[in-house]
């Protein structure tokens, strides 16, 4: 049912009052809202709601609307071009005993007050996938004797190349990939749960929209599923996930235009209204924290177990991780090669760490590498005697240049975004492991940012030297493993290991794809960057 426009635009100053009084709408007691200057390729971190606080980092206005109105970001439509590109941080304090639903209502008011947001419900056809069943499916009724879920299965000994690292709550396990395929063992699972989980299967490449269960099959089921993922070396033909679901399960995975309730953005301001006076004093400090307690030891050299788990509340559990991995994480580096001066043995010495961030008595929010980096740096200095300095160095870098552009100029009024497609357009079954980006009205500066760290070769920020103005529409399809295989074994967890050039059917490298599909090129060059240089570090930690 269509609702009238939610005219939520209100006064610019957030009232620091409790709710529950007659005529009062629920509001946060205090809220810090500010622009986040991180590059556009950073994905939003999951919002954390703990106790009386709500925290959301690296989020777009589309993300915040989805959170406030309990809808998928893909179902937030309309609005200005920057709605899915500009990023913000929000930290808000609610009155005691506020329910999650009340927090959403408060976030709606906050968006209206700080961003002058006006939205309303609408209905539009949205491209989605539907899982359907014919008259003769091939599933076996479950007897409820096994744990529910779908787990990837090794098809060989999990050592060497072609091994995927699968992270779980209990640590990490290795899943061996052979013949370019991956298998899943599904047990005691409902069709609703299976449909919801298909997008998360390795190399499924189904985009961001949900998969709907339209099978009509009740109860729980057992079955196995095996399909190609686009890695080199497949010798027995290729089977896409669509073909596998059809032939192996007797089900259909089909793209459909399904009428869907959406949130239509009628108006919104790009710059949020400044925080009211007293906001900083009303919220917990957000500065870097150090570990309050940490136990460190050299890992058992015979152990093949590897794990790196950051838990809510500030606990870090790590097993069998190379010392170089911690050094890179401490400086905020995602891959090796950007921290200089590390001794060669830093890649072979493996350590176990159990540590807890110091608590200031405030709420414990979700954690990520940005949260842990200062604590790891302090740990390395205190327990490994590490010293370092920062200096400018000439590093290999890339520039994005235009040779013979093959892109379509975007509509200046259209929203700017780059998203994975629901299905790689025109890709042969062998390419189901490819990655793709469909971009709309995207500026070349934004696109250059999105390419940074898109593959293991692109470790440094990429400068836009195309000279192309305005926004552009295009599709880029590539295989990040083409020309190399990422080895994720106990001896290579920290980075990729180049093997042999890939079979051409595995897809273009990102360099080839940019040139052949878009008429762009990544040109090697040098750039002066401020980098950390390790002066000294001990091979073993001091005693606990």
Range of the domain at 211: 128-258
Q: 524 phi and psi, to 5 degrees? A: -70, 145
Give yes or no for a contact between 201 and 175, defined as CB atoms under 8 angstroms apart.
no
Rounded Cα–Cα distance for residues 238 and 249 (Å): 17
Reported confidence tier of residue 362, pLDDT bands at 50, 70, 90: low
Q: Is residue 4 part of a domain?
A: no
Residue 13 within any structural domain of the chain: no
Task: With respect to residue 45, please indicate whether it lies within any of the assigned structural domains.
Answer: yes
The reported pLDDT for the residue numbered 7 is 34
Tell me which of 324, 353, 387 is where a domain ends. Answer: 387
Q: How far apart are the first and last CA of the chain?
A: 63
The radius of gyration of the chain's CA atoms, rounded to the nearest angstrom, is 25
Residue 243 and residue 269 share a domain: no
Contact indicator for 226, 237 with CB cutoff of 8 Å: no
Same domain, 233 and 309: no
More confident position, 202 or 294: 294
Mean pLDDT of the chain: 79
DSSP, collapsed to helix, strand or coil, labels residue 152 as strand
Is residue 248 domain-shared with residue 204, that is, in the same domain? Answer: yes
Is 201 within a domain? yes
Contacts 24+ apart (CB under 8 A), 329-332: 329/369, 329/372, 329/373, 329/376, 330/373, 330/376, 330/377, 330/379, 330/380, 331/373, 331/377, 331/532, 332/369, 332/370, 332/373
Phi (first) and psi of residue 467, to 5 degrees: 75, 10
pLDDT band, residue 201 (cuts 50/70/90): confident
Cα–Cα distance for residue pair 442/34, rounded to 1 Å: 23
Number of domain units in the chain: 4
Residues 537 and 381: their CA atoms lie apart, in Å, by 8
418 and 519 belong to one structural domain: yes
Q: What is the DSSP string of 84-132?
A: TT-EEEEEEEPPTT--HHHHHHHHHHHHHHHH--EEEEEEEEEEEEEEE
Mean pLDDT score, 387-391: 95
Q: Mean pLDDT across the stretch 459-486?
A: 81
By mean pLDDT, which of 269-273, 281-285, 479-483, 511-515 is the weakest?
A: 479-483
Q: Say if residue 333 is in the same domain as residue 359.
A: yes
Q: Is 225 found in the same domain as 145?
A: yes
Is 102 in the same domain as 148?
A: no
pLDDT band of residue 367 (cuts 50, 70, 90) is low
How many CB atoms sit inside 10 A of residue 347's CB? 17
C-alpha span between 287 and 78 (Å, rounded): 36
The whole-angstrom separation of Cα 217 and Cα 140 is 12
Nearest to 393 by CA among 534, 536, 525, 527: 527
Q: Which tens digit of pLDDT belongs to each residue from 121-142?
A: 999 887 778 999 977 899 999 9
CA distance 513 to 463: 18
pTM over cut 0.75: no
Is 349 domain-assigned? yes
Task: Let me know: does 124 contact 265? Beta carbons within 8 Å.
Answer: no
Of 112, 100, 101, 98, the C-alpha closest to 20 is 98
- How far is residue 266's CA from residue 5's CA, in Å, rounded to a whole number? 9
Model confidence over 76-129: pLDDT tens digits? Answer: 999 999 999 898 999 999 998 888 889 999 999 999 999 999 999 999 887 778
């Amino acid at each position: 049912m269509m609702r009238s426009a939610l005219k939520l635009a209100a006064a610019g100053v957030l009232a620091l009052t409790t709710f529950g009084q007659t005529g009062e709408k629920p509001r946060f007691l205090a809220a810090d809202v500010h622009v986040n200057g991180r590059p556009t390729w950073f994905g939003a971190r999951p919002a954390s709601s703990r106790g009386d606080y709500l925290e959301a980092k690296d989020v777009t206005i589309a993300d915040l609307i989805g959170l406030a109105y309990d809808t998928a970001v893909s179902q937030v439509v309309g609005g200005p071009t920057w709605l899915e590109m500009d990023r913000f941080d929000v930290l808000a304090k609610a009155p005691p005993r506020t329910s999650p639903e009340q927090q959403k209502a408060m976030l709606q008011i906050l968006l209206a007050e700080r961003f002058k947001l006006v939205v309303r419900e609408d209905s539009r056809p949205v491209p989605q996938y539907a899982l359907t069943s014919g008259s003769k499916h091939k599933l076996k009724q479950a007897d409820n004797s096994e744990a529910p879920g779908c787990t990837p299965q090794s098809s060989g000994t999990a050592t060497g190349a072609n091994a995927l690292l699968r992270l779980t709550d209990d640590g990490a396990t290795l899943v061996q990939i052979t013949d370019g395929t991956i298998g899943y063992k599904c047990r005691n699972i409902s069709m609703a749960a299976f449909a919801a989980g298909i997008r998360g299967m390795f190399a499924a490449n189904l985009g961001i929209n949900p998969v709907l269960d339209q099978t009509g099959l009740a109860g729980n089921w057992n079955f196995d599923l095996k399909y190609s993922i686009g890695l080199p070396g497949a010798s027995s033909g290729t089977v896409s996930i669509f073909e596998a679901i059809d032939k192996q399960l007797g089900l259909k995975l089909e793209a459909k235009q399904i009428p869907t309730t959406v949130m239509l953005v009628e108006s919104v301001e790009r710059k949020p209204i400044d925080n009211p006076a007293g906001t900083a004093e009303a919220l917990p400090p957000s500065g870097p924290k150090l570990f309050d307690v940490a136990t460190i030891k050299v890992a058992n050299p015979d152990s093949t177990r590897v794990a790196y788990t950051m838990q809510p509340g500030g606990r870090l559990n790590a097993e069998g991780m190379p010392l170089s991995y911690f050094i890179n994480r401490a400086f905020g580096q995602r891959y090796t090669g950007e921290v200089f001066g590390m001794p060669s043995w830093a890649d072979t010495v493996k350590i176990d760490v159990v540590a807890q961030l110091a608590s200031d008595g405030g709420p414990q929010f979700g954690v990520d590498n940005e949260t842990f980096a200062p604590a790891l740096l302090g740990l390395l200095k205190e327990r490994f005697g590490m010293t370092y300095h920062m200096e400018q160095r000439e590093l290999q870098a890339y520039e994005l240049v235009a040779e013979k552009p093959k892109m379509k100029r975007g509509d200046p009024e259209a929203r700017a975004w780059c998203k994975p497609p629901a299905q790689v357009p025109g890709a042969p079954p062998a390419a189901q492991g490819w990655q793709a980006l469909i971009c709309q009205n995207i500026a070349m500066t934004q696109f250059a940012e999105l390419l940074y760290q898109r593959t293991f070769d692109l470790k440094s920020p990429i400068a836009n030297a195309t000279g192309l103005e305005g926004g552009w529409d295009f599709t880029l399809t590539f295989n990040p493993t083409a020309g190399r295989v990422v080895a994720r074994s106990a001896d290579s967890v920290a980075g990729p290991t180049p093997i042999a050039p890939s079979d051409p059917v595995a897809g273009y490298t990102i360099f080839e794809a940019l040139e052949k599909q878009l008429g762009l090129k990544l040109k090697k060059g040098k750039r002066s960057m401020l980098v950390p240089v390790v002066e000294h570090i001990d091979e073993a930690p001091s005693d606990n």
